[in-house]
Structure 1
Amino acid sequence: MELEFSLAELPSAAATFWKEMAGSTTFALHGQMGAGKTTFVKALCAAKGVKDTTGSPTFSIINEYAYNEDGMQKSIFHLDLYRLKNEQEAMDAGVEDCLYQGAICFVEWPGVVEDIMPLDTVTLTLEVLPNEKRLLRAQK
């Protein structure tokens, strides 16, 4: 799947993403600093009906957001592993617990945990285009 979108088109891109990625729960986000990874995750959370304030987990490492689906409360985990040096630090922070509890999980800077990511992880690459748009590529 490929999606090209502007900031104004984010809500529509998020809705399309969820339709295309139905059934997938773990996503590894790749892209240069400033590509819009966190902004895209915020839009995805909004599309799911998250009421919490969403933000970058750069310092907290893991943010958890709640949303309701089919009358049940569910979780979205947003992880930013940029500051972690190795897999052990990730394990100590509780990353593995997030990855394997069946909740939706977005992992920015997933390099340090590649060996423990679920086999069905979807790789997302976000690229800045010259026209101030973004290109999202998803690979299952």
Structure 2
Amino acid sequence: MHWTFSLNELPAVAEEILKAMGNNRVIALSGPMGAGKTTLVHAICDQLGIKAAVGSPTFSIINEYPASDGPVYHIDCYRLRDEAEAIDAGVEDCLFSGHWCFVEWPEKIPHLFPDNTARLTIVAGEPGQRTIDLQVMASAPAR
């Protein structure tokens, strides 16, 4: 899936992303610094009804937001040295929790993701425009 949008269209794009996810709950967000990864996660969390302040987990590594159907995890791997450090920080537990999990800088932990992780790339285009490409993997049927 592909979207090109302006900031005022972001809520609608966030809603479409959630619909496209099906039963998948992990999104790996790639893009250069300043592309809007955290802003996009904030918009998605708004669509999920998160009332807590949503911000960058750059220093905490993992932010956990309470939601009616379980926690929502927002992970930033930018400062991690390697996958072992990510495991020690609890990233793997979040990824396999079955809850929503949004991961910025997934390139730092490529081997830790579930098979059905959605891959999202966001880039800045014309002033005030962003482009998103989303690849959603087929999820296993619910048991």
Shared fold, TM over 0.5: yes
Q: Tell me which residue corresponds to 2:32.
A: 32
Once residues 3 and 11 of structure 2 are traced to their aligned partners in structure 1, the CA distance between those partners, rounded to angstroms, is 12
Find the aligned partners of 2:117 and 2:17 in 1 and give their Cα distance: 15
1:5-44 pair list within 5 angstroms: 5-44=5-44
Q: Does 1:82 align with 2:78?
A: yes
Q: CA deviation at 1:55?
A: 0.3
Structure 2 counterpart of 1:110, one-letter code: P
Q: What residue number does 1:65 align with?
A: 65
Check if 1:55 corresponds to 2:51: no
- Which residue identity lines up with residue 31 of structure 1 in the other structure? G
Whose strand fraction is larger, Structure 1's or Structure 2's? 1
Partner of residue 137, structure 1: 133
Structure 1 unaligned segments of length 5 or more: list them: none
83, 105, 109: which is aligned to 2:105? 109
Counting matched residue pairs gives: 136
TM superposition shift of 1:10: 1.1
Q: Give 1:27's aligned amino acid.
A: I
Structure 1 runs (4+) deviating above 6 angstroms are none
| Cα distance in 2 between the residues matched to 1:32 and 1:111 | 12
Q: CA deviation at 1:51?
A: 0.6
- Could you report, residue by residue, the CA deviation over 1:92-128 in whole angstroms, capped at 9, with x for unpaired residues? 1010110111011111001221111101111100010
Instruction: Using structure 1 for the length normalisation, give the TM-score.
Output: 0.93
User: How large is the RMSD of aligned CA atoms in angstroms?
Assistant: 1.0
Give a deviation string over 1:3-41, Cα, whole Å, max 9, x none. Answer: 121111111111111112221211111000000000000
In 1: Cα distance, 2:70 partner to 2:129 partner:
31
Tell me which moved more, 43-52 or 110-119. Answer: 110-119
- Aligned identity (percent) is 48
CA–CA distance in structure 1, aligned partners of residues 78 and 127 of structure 2:
27
